[in-house]
């Protein structure tokens, strides 16, 4: 279980999720501009590679300035971090493939089967299940789930859901196996580097923009906004609240998307969507950690 003894101070977990979600959706807007030139899998690899470069430079610099603060990584921890990176990369790739075939709302709703499953397995009381039911209802209403579209798109979205569940479980292990949040982020950096190398053949699909610095810079920004910022915040929150509540808090992502759409794109929620937003807020508020750490 993730230690929570010294991680209760600082901004509340829901606020961190809102910040991470906002960053992720700005990155998604950048990705839209790349889909015309690069395949979804290629965009996903560019996002991964950009994040790997930024995280590796950051963590190496942090270790250098720490002087003598060396952390020995066992083979098991390296393998675990690598598996986490590959699962994260796979999740991004199949989700991009899903939204290339399905409406975004449909793909997001199907993908949420992953965190909902983790939250259900980690719940222990009627209150947990009530909160989970409210969140499921809210997500379904916000996403306006439809069973229309490409069968292949549905398969990709279901794969994304499965990999999202694996991301939560492995992310919690990477976080809990670290002595500090910094070491957890080190694990994230190692995982992304391993995944970027293993999946490097996908870089061939990004060849059309190889000679365009502006688009390459956009890809780097995509990695920072869509991967580095949200996933670093994930590591912080995982250490603070554990994987069951983390899975439930992920329901704030479609809520954040709705708010961003309202403020930035003047997309006013329909009455049914507004009910969904309220259900998610109530569900997240209901599922609170007990006063004493367990």
User: What is the pLDDT at residue 144?
Assistant: 64
Q: What is the mean pLDDT of residues 180-200?
A: 78
CA distance 291 to 108: 33
Identify which of 220, 227, 186 has the alpha carbon closest to the alpha carbon of residue 61: 186
**Residue 56 lies inside a defined structural domain of this protein:** yes
Tell the burial category of 263 from Cβ atoms under 10 Å away from its Cβ (0-12, 13-18, 19+): exposed
**For the segment 274-288, what is each residue's pLDDT rounded down to a tens digit?**
787 788 777 766 765
- The yes-or-no verdict on residue 87 having pLDDT over 90 is yes
User: In this predicted structure, which of 77-81, 87-91, 92-96, 180-184 has the lowest mean pLDDT?
Assistant: 180-184
Count of domains forming the chain: 1
**Residue 84 lies inside a defined structural domain of this protein:** yes
CA distance 115 to 140: 14
First to last CA, the chain: 9
**Residue 205 lies inside a defined structural domain of this protein:** yes
**Residue 294 lies inside a defined structural domain of this protein:** no
**Residue 207 lies inside a defined structural domain of this protein:** yes
Q: CA angle, corner 196, sides to 190 and 197, nearest 5? A: 90
**Residue 291 lies inside a defined structural domain of this protein:** no
User: What is the pLDDT at residue 284?
Assistant: 67
**Residue 292 lies inside a defined structural domain of this protein:** no
User: What is the pLDDT at residue 2?
Assistant: 41
**Residue 5 lies inside a defined structural domain of this protein:** no
The whole-chain average pLDDT of the chain stands at 75
**For the segment 97-129, what is each residue's pLDDT rounded down to a tens digit?**
887 777 766 777 778 777 777 777 776 677 777
For 79, the domain range is: 13-286
- Helices within the chain (DSSP H only): 13-34, 40-66, 75-99, 104-111, 113-122, 126-143, 151-176, 181-198, 213-223, 229-241, 243-249, 252-265, 271-286
């Amino acid at each position: 279980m993730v230690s929570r003894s010294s991680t209760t101070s600082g901004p509340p977990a829901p606020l961190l999720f809102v910040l991470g979600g906002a960053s992720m959706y700005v990155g998604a807007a950048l990705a839209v501009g790349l889909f015309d030139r690069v395949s979804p899998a290629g965009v996903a690899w560019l996002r991964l590679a950009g994040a790997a470069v930024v995280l590796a430079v950051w963590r190496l610099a942090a270790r250098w300035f720490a002087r003598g603060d060396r952390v020995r990584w066992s083979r098991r921890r390296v393998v675990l971090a690598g598996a986490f990176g590959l699962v994260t990369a796979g999740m991004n790739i199949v989700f991009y493939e899903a939204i290339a075939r399905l409406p975004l709302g449909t793909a997001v709703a199907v993908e949420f089967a992953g965190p909902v499953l983790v939250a259900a397995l980690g719940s222990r009381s009627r209150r947990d299940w009530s909160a989970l039911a409210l969140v499921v209802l809210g997500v379904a209403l916000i996403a306006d789930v439809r069973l229309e579209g490409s069968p292949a798109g549905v398969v990709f979205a279901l794969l994304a859901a499965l990999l999202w569940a694996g991301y939560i479980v492995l992310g919690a292990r990477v976080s809990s196996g670290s002595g500090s949040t910094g070491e957890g982020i080190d694990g994230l950096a190692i995982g992304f580097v391993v995944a970027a190398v293993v999946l490097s053949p996908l870089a061939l699909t990004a060849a059309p923009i190889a000679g365009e610095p502006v688009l390459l810079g956009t890809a780097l920004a995509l990695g920072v906004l869509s991967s580095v910022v949200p996933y670093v915040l994930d590591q912080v929150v995982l250490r603070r609240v554990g994987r069951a509540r983390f899975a439930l808090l992920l329901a704030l992502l479609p809520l954040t998307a709705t708010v961003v759409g309202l403020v930035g794109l003047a997309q006013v929620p329909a009455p049914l969507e507004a009910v969904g937003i309220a259900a998610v807020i109530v569900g997240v508020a209901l599922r609170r950690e007990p006063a004493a750490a367990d």
